[in-house]
Amino acid sequence: MENYLLINLRDILFLLISIVKMLMINVANSIILSFSAEVNAAIIACIASVIAAFISIYQTVISRRDNKKNITRVDLLQSKQIFETKLDEFFIPLRHHLENSKTLFKILKKGKPATFRTLTHLLNKKQIYPDTNQKLKLNKNDISLIKAIIKIGKKIEQLIHDKSYLIGDDTEFVKEYIPRPGYDNLPYEQDMTLLSLLASHLVTIRMAFNDDLSGQRNNFEGFVFPNEINVRVNEKIIELETKISSIEAQILKLNK
């Protein structure tokens, strides 16, 4: 509607300017012969006033349109900055650490029973695995891998401590964690968010490795690593990148 009004005002303005030009050309001919100088001056002054009024209206409409665009542009840029901060300062670093930890765990798990879990094994190193009916003794390489995983875990803990406020009210990470199908085969601790479950796992595995925790395996089974967090973090990154792209497209449209 605003653009339609703007186009009509512009057309009317150009029409009035054309009329004035014609009047100015003819004023020396027919108008001056028909009216006194005072009348001619009054007519020209009246037309000039009308043109000035339309110019003022035209400029007002342009100004309002530009102001509205600027307000919208500022709002979009602020939203973009929020999404970029979430990505750059929390979700992308978190994904980086999680993927590194996942890779090391894959190496650690090679040649071990299918039911092997680092935390539960450290709590009970003498346990017998049902799929092999044997105990498992970690070698030097296994210990080194676990140390590397724990080192990454400390970085994740620090990141959660320093930057988890960026999550805001994102329900994926602030509501109670309910595993999706395919990830619900482990007895995860209930009434915990996904991040609090992750943080609790990182603390307990470090304590178990340092022999500050031992035994009572059943009490800690719910704090094994939540594998689904890698999936949900990736989904969140894709969602934020999509929002940023959408905002950039809207800004580009405003600038045209």
Name the residue ranges covered by the structural domains of the chain.
2-72, 81-255
How much is the average pLDDT of 35-43?
Answer: 60
CA distances 21 to 14, 47, 86, 216, 218, Å, are 11, 11, 60, 98, 95
pLDDT of residue 162: 92
Task: Specify the pLDDT at position 41.
Answer: 65
Q: What angle do CA 46, 48, 53 make, to 5 degrees?
A: 95
Could you tell me which residue, 81 or 135, shows the higher pLDDT? 81
* 169-188 residue pLDDT tens: 777 788 888 888 888 877 78
pLDDT at 32 over 50: no
Confidence of residue 25 (pLDDT cuts 50, 70, 90): low
Of 214, 173, 216, the residue nearest 193 (C-alpha): 173
Q: Residue 156's pLDDT is what? A: 94
Structure tokens at 197: 């479950």
Kindly state the tokens that stand for 142.
Answer: 């296994």
pLDDT in tens, 97-141: 999 999 999 999 888 888 888 888 888 888 888 777 788 888 999
pLDDT, residue 251, reads 82
The span from the CA of 42 to the CA of 170, in Å, is 68
Give the span between the Cα atoms of 29 and 209, in whole angstroms: 106
Question: How much of the chain, in percent, has pLDDT values that exceed 70?
Answer: 73
Torsion of CA 53, 55, 56, 59, to 10 degrees: 160
pLDDT band, residue 6 (cuts 50/70/90):
very low
SS3 134: strand
What's the rounded Cα separation, in Å, for the pair 115 and 136? 12
- Say if residue 166's pLDDT is above 70: yes
Specify whether the CB–CB gap between 236 and 170 falls below 8 A. yes
- Model confidence pLDDT, tens digit, residues 193-228: 889 889 988 998 998 888 887 777 667 777 778 888
What integer pLDDT is reported at residue 149 of this predicted model?
94
Per residue, the 3-state secondary structure of 6-28, as one string, reads HHHHHHHHHHHHHHHHHHHHHHH
